Chains A and B, each alone.
Chain A
């Protein structure tokens, strides 16, 4: 073979090898909004492809195409709503971008995009605790002019205050969530207890009466994670404590908080399983589903799961009530969760307008009602809780509305991630007994104070 041919072949081979290497290289950036396939980043090993666009519809020729990113926990209901919106008009076409059912996952994915000034996503479903953070970072658009005062009034007040940062509304409440105390109606009946207990002592007394039939009185989440932050906040609220006072100053090591945390820690291994310090929602629900616990504190949507014959041993014997309090007569405060809709600050005005129109539609009373009927997620619009159709399908909403109205938000802060992390680490050490409750809360107080500077 001639030398020049050899050289050419060598170069060609080198090029092929280079392309081969590039193909095994890093992620491919998502194509512009018109493409529906994009890659998700997740923290652990492996990659995951999100689900394709809702329905088979094609975007009309001159429609503005916007991408809506949400988590798969409400995947089916959301896709149905998107299809409905697309079918109802031809100016805007919404494409779906579904992410795994994990708040941290959503957070990380959105952070990646916002930092890269990525415009491939227009509307994002953001967990309520992250709104302050995203607003402070300047990643989401203000929405003050999207709703009139009257329209805002239609929403639950807790959802609106959770979506506000520095006095401006940065997110549209989409659906909310609150925890509740699920309990075994059959056991209470068996013990002859006609009034559902409202205090911790009340539940402990009830447990003493039915000890033979259950192993534990309480099942809740004590894992070092976001779930435990919700649980801990609820415990301290039930004793009259707070994380931050009205002025936003940290009061983590107040006497009430110490009492509440000590109570929470003492329950573990006695009235609640020892493994509670490793439980997230699913593990704690498993204990209740198997009939081992008298009560279970978890999110309201679990109602369906607990009453599902196929999945739960206690189906049909489940009731729902306020979280316990320490003093008779107090109201139990549940932790509020849920998702809000925000718009990407990097998109252009045409897309922004389209996004806002879509958001307004999604948060309107009719859409939220339909969404609730399909998904059982608690809506942010107050009126739906007294709607006849909804109550027929989900009867416990009559009681649940009172629980939601009394809901509290976790501390609102642009540094929520750090605050949550501080709570997780310190409180977990108190719960496992590695540190005394006073020391742990003093350490927490120090950390939260440093963060507020």
Chain B
């Protein structure tokens, strides 16, 4: 900690060099990341349907946003997206944590397991969604076949034809794909935990469960929150999984799928941009909530 609030000449010099080195990156970032966001926000304040080029795209202020709240479809989609996010993130947290605990122990072939477990994550979402679509098929799908042979169902079902079936299919596919990612993020955190704490706890007579709840959980709070933050943001913005697996049918349309539809199919850039900005705001709020829980001190070494 600095004892004087006045920076020394050396520190100012260092700061200048730091800014100089960051400047090109910051410039590129502002062009690639900041400008599109600002432009999208600007577009959302206009009435801009590409099919009416003659309208001149008038400025209409926040009318698009007000329209969102009276748009039944947008509201339903947001509710569905929140439902999807909560279910998948919770499931992935538990499964990921369990997998990470297993992978934290030393056993033969651990390296291979750690590499192999990432395969679902590595396959592009649209490819794996396509694959799962075949698996859920009512005529030749593996899902039906396995369940039938195990006697769990007494006839092949069309899983993707109903709302509950589609939701279940989406959750399974998403968990299959992302639990490994969570597992690895959590594993990284677990590996930082000092062994001495566990040893001294063992000496004090703490059993496995007590060790888990008094040592692992409190110390894992921050890495876990980081992993959850990433996953929550990704789950809220889910697009390609739903687009390929169900196309948004049976009440599984997420807000991103709807925004894309408004923008690219209906060519309503004003309203679509408003939806996109809304997604951005929600994601931003979610990040703020998480950062609050993390104590706001990301660079902390305490």
A21-B25, A43-B260 known; A283 and B163 CB under 8 Å? no
A425 to B250, CA, bound (A): 9
A15 to B23, CA, bound (A): 9
Total of A-B residue pairs, C-beta within 8 Å:
125
Q: Is B265 an interface residue (CB 8 A)?
A: yes
A138-B53, A223-B247, A428-B249 known; A18 and B24 CB under 8 Å? yes
Task: Say how far B174's CB is from chain A's closest CB, in angstroms.
Answer: 14
Task: Say how far B266's CB is from chain A's closest CB, in angstroms.
Answer: 5
Which residues of chain B from 111 to 128 have any CB-CB distance to chain A below 8 Å in the complex? 124-127
List the 9 closest pairs (A to B, CB-CB), nearest first. A18-B24, A275-B138, A224-B249, A44-B126, A275-B158, A274-B158, A45-B124, A417-B265, A14-B21
Residue contact A274 to B157, C-beta cutoff 8 Å: yes
Q: Is A278 an interface residue (CB 8 A)?
A: yes
Task: Say how far A197's CB is from chain B's closest CB, in angstroms.
Answer: 24
Which residues of chain A from 7 to 25 have any CB-CB distance to chain B below 8 Å in the complex? 7, 10-11, 13-15, 17-18, 21-22, 25
- List residues of chain A with CB within 8 A of the CB of B27: 18
Q: Is B223 an interface residue (CB 8 A)?
A: no
Residue contact A273 to B265, C-beta cutoff 8 Å: no
Residue contact A278 to B51, C-beta cutoff 8 Å: no
A21-B25, A25-B32 known; A46 and B124 CB under 8 Å? yes
Q: Is B28 an interface residue (CB 8 A)?
A: yes
Q: Is A418 an interface residue (CB 8 A)?
A: yes
Which of B53, B126, B161, B246 is within 8 Å of A45, CB to CB? B126
- List residues of chain A with CB within 8 A of the CB of B249: 223-224, 277-278, 425, 428, 432
Interface string of A216-258 (1 = CB under 8 A from B): 0000000111000000000000000000000000000000000
Q: Is A111 an interface residue (CB 8 A)?
A: yes
A sample of 13 inter-chain contacts (CB < 8 A) reads A10-B17, A14-B25, A21-B25, A21-B29, A136-B52, A137-B53, A138-B53, A278-B138, A283-B139, A421-B265, A421-B266, A425-B249, A432-B162
Residue contact A275 to B139, C-beta cutoff 8 Å: yes
- List residues of chain B with CB within 8 A of the CB of A223: 247, 249
Besides A10-B21, A133-B267, A428-B249, 6 more A-B contacts (Cβ < 8 Å) are A21-B28, A44-B126, A224-B249, A274-B161, A415-B266, A428-B250
A108 to B263, CA, bound (A): 10
Residue contact B243 to A43, C-beta cutoff 8 Å: yes
Residue contact A417 to B24, C-beta cutoff 8 Å: no
A18 to B22, CA, bound (A): 9
Task: Say how far A78's CB is from chain B's closest CB, in angstroms.
Answer: 25
Among residues of B, the one whose C-beta sits closest to the C-beta of A114 is: B50
- List residues of chain B with CB within 8 A of the CB of A286: 139-140
Residue contact A115 to B21, C-beta cutoff 8 Å: no
Task: Say how far A311's CB is from chain B's closest CB, in angstroms.
Answer: 15
A45 to B138, CA, bound (A): 26
A273-B139, A274-B138, A421-B261 known; A434 and B250 CB under 8 Å? yes
Among residues of A, the one whose C-beta sits closest to the C-beta of B265 is: A417
Residue contact A414 to B17, C-beta cutoff 8 Å: no
Q: Is B172 an interface residue (CB 8 A)?
A: no
A136 to B53, CA, bound (A): 9
Interface string of B4-29 (1 = CB under 8 A from A): 00000000000001001111110111
Task: Say how far A224's CB is from chain B's closest CB, in angstroms.
Answer: 4
- List residues of chain B with CB within 8 A of the CB of A25: 28, 32
Residue contact A275 to B265, C-beta cutoff 8 Å: no
Which B residues are closer than 8 A to A by beta carbons?
A: 17, 20-25, 27-29, 32, 50-54, 124-127, 137-140, 157-158, 160-163, 240, 243-244, 246-251, 260-261, 264-267
Q: Is A161 an interface residue (CB 8 A)?
A: no
Which residues of chain A from 101 to 145 have any CB-CB distance to chain B below 8 Å in the complex? 104, 107-108, 111, 114-115, 133, 136-138
Interface string of A410-436 (1 = CB under 8 A from B): 000011011001000100100010100
Q: Is A163 an interface residue (CB 8 A)?
A: no
A432 to B264, CA, bound (A): 27
Residue contact A43 to B240, C-beta cutoff 8 Å: yes
- List residues of chain B with CB within 8 A of the CB of A417: 265-267
A114 to B248, CA, bound (A): 27
A10 to B23, CA, bound (A): 11
- List residues of chain A with CB within 8 A of the CB of B243: 43-44
Residue contact A26 to B25, C-beta cutoff 8 Å: no
Residue contact A26 to B32, C-beta cutoff 8 Å: yes
A45-B126, A275-B161 known; A133 and B140 CB under 8 Å? no
Q: Is A292 an interface residue (CB 8 A)?
A: yes
Interface string of A284-307 (1 = CB under 8 A from B): 001100101000000000000000
A11 to B21, CA, bound (A): 6
Which of B51, B260, B261 is within 8 Å of A133, CB to CB? B51
A418 to B263, CA, bound (A): 11
- List residues of chain B with CB within 8 A of the CB of A434: 163, 250-251
Residue contact B139 to A415, C-beta cutoff 8 Å: no
A224 to B140, CA, bound (A): 20
- List residues of chain B with CB within 8 A of the CB of A292: 139
